[in-house]
Amino acid sequence: MLDIKFVRENPDAVDAACASRQNAHWDRERFFELDSERRQIIVEVEGLQAERNVVSKQIGQLMREGKRDEAEAAKAAVAANKDRITQLDERRDAVEKELFDLVAGIPNIPDASVPYGADDSDNPEVRRWGTPREFDFDAKAHWDLGPELGIIDFDRGVKIAGSRFYVLGGMGARLERALISFMIDLHTKIGFKEWWLPVITNQATLFGTGQLPKFEEDLYHVNPDLYLIPTAEVMLTNLHRDEVLDASQLPLWYTAFTPCFREEAGSAGRDTRGIIRVHEFDKVEMVKFATPEDSMNQLESMTAEAEEVLKVLGLPYRVVTLCTGDIGFSACKTYDVEVWLPSYNAYKEISSCSNCWDFQARRANIKYRDPANFKGTRLVHTLNGSGLAVGRTMAAIIENYQNADGTITVPEALVPYMGGVEVIRPEG
């Protein structure tokens, strides 16, 4: 969430930021109507309070002087004054709520380094690693090879849950579990603290990271007040909601594995085959809390940490910077890490690493104290990134490590996590 003072003083910058995001809008006229009314109410209330204090002091003097009628009139004036203040306070609450909701709907301001663009086709490539494999046989897509090996079952997923669900069996289930453990181990070895989190969350938590109210249609409701989490970012970031951290603690590095649940309401017709875009998927998440001066450095290191997972697995990838038309609601800058998928003959997103500046911290009220450098408290900067999306990593392994005989070679780094299994063969 942007600072209301910033919006008031920099409406042209907000206009420009929304325009650069292509489809973002805010009601500038209504903002200033509400902001002006709020200020007028404050001035009127302060005047009425001062007037009430003066008249209240006069009542005692009038009573002592025996001017009972004048004293009663003064009491009536004080009562009327009190009623008016109550009315104004109620109106101020309503105005401030509408003003808060309006500002809460404005997306973050993209960093100056974010390139301008209309959509993902304008995302500039930053770097590549690895070379896509040249097959000397007819390579298969994971949605064909997985069922043939008996490790992915789409039909039974649809039968027991519905469209865009699948089940994993045998070595498929083992590979999923191996990838999760491998990723968590890789992150914790370099200093991330692991957490085990609930997968049900509340409205305040989702508001804190920006999923509510804007993206409610993409969330699965458990009841009117509870939801299934769309990502562990929501839970990890809100661990420190309404807290004041000490500067000596920063940066904080957190990681967690969770299943994630998304309605994908706006993705009809996109990636409908396979396990690339489904309603439930596993993901290992990274979240960081940093000082404003250090957060961009932390974004670079977080992206490198996501890349390291792919390097160790030997999967070709590239990194792109999201342009203004593709960047997420809460982010000020994002790198997407895209893995090579032969079935698409293209790179597909497997991680998004974002710096949200103080946007989420303001919504979730997460601050830090640094007595040596400033008085009071400041908002932290929050960052998040996938490390990685497990299902997409499995799809990439199946496709990139397939053999002519229909088997899959297990990446060397995963063999210990697979109980020594080096090749996945057809299962009965």
Tell me the C-alpha to C-alpha distance, in Å, between residue 134 and each of 131, 141, 263, 402, 422: 9, 15, 36, 12, 22
Extract the tokens encoding 127.
Answer: 């770097």
Measure the CA–CA gap between 286 and 319, rounded to whole angstroms: 17
User: Is 28 part of the annotated catalytic residue set?
Assistant: no
277 an active-site residue? yes
Instruction: Compute the distance between CA of residue 119 and CA of residue 179 in angstroms, rounded to an integer.
Output: 31
Bond from prior residue into 230 cis (ω within 30 degrees of 0):
no
Active site residue: 8, 28, 92, 277, which one? 277
Whether 273 is a known active-site residue: answer no
Is 369 annotated as catalytic?
no
Report the 10 Å Cβ neighbour count for 225.
Answer: 9
CB 360 within 8 A of CB 208: yes
Q: Active-site residue 262, yes or no?
A: yes
**Dist CA 381 CA 240 (whole Å):** 12
Catalytic choice (21, 174, 363, 392): 392
- Yes or no: say if 206 and 219 are a contact pair by the CB < 8 Å rule: yes
Catalytic residue of the set 21, 52, 164, 262: 262
- Active-site choice (352, 354, 386, 399): 352
Angle ∠(175,181,184) on CA atoms, nearest 5: 140
Catalytic entry in 37, 280, 308, 349: 349
By the 8 A CB rule, do 207 and 1 touch? no
Bridging pattern class, strands 252-261 and 193-195: parallel
Cα 52 to Cα 78: distance, rounded to the nearest angstrom: 6
Return the active site residues: 262, 277, 349, 352, 392
